[in-house]
Amino acid sequence: MGKNALIIGASGDIGAAISKKLAGNGWQLILHFNKNKQAMETNRMSLARESILMEIQADLSDQSGMSHLLDQLVFPVDAIIFAGGNAHYGMFQYTDEHVMDAMLALHVKAPWVITKHILPLMIREQRGRIIFITSIWGESGAGNEVIYSSVKGAQNSFVKALAKETGSSGITVNAVSPGFIDTKMNQHLSEEERAKIIQDIPANRAGTSDDVANTVSFLMNDQSDYVHGEIIHVSGGWRP
């Protein structure tokens, strides 16, 4: 198959690890980011210049940002990895509707719109990879993270449903569902809270961004052609 990959959220810890892994595997990268320009520059420095086709800055939580991203796509896309997004912490009853709208747009509508735009070419070529980085909370749910759990659950459902439409077209659709990963998203936790979570993980450690990237690398490989419509846990056996 072709070797152009669009990575949504390439400036995040997991997105950066995926970028580095895929570049090492010979993929040409289209890197999306939003606010974290400094992290994007750090990511760029870790990659061979010839592995980067282009970078696109866009806020995918609103329609203009989605349109800007699609307008900038001048290269064919053979694979999409949705690794971006934000968590939201707080009691559901106190959550503002503007937060709800932004989370839905970023985690649900933007992937819909981007996939809808790219899918026809994949179908014509009879090949492609679509991969979501979801979350263990999308299956089990988390108190104080109701909105985040909801949108990640929607991503899991989208993966399972779209896989049934694309299977005959040579396009695989899968998700990687991380558990407790040592990224900036979890920096709000105290050492005591971290230790308590790790105590409940059978692997007895937090996961790393590389653990997630390694699983994505497998799904991008031709050896994974028969893996389709799956939600793959990268959690060290943790089931909260």
**Element (H or E) spanning 234, and its range?**
strand 231-234
Alpha carbon separation from 61 to 35, 48, 84, 115 (Å, rounded) = 12, 30, 11, 16
Q: Which two tokens stand for residue 153?
A: 């659950």
Active site residue 94: no
Q: Please state, in angstroms and rounded to a whole number, the distance separating the CA atoms of residues 59 and 32.
A: 10
- Rounded to 10 degrees, what is the CA torsion of 39, 85, 35, 75? 80
Choose, from 89, 94, 148, 226, the residue flagged as catalytic: 148
Residues 6+ apart with CB under 8 A from 36: 11, 12
Residues belonging to the active site: 148
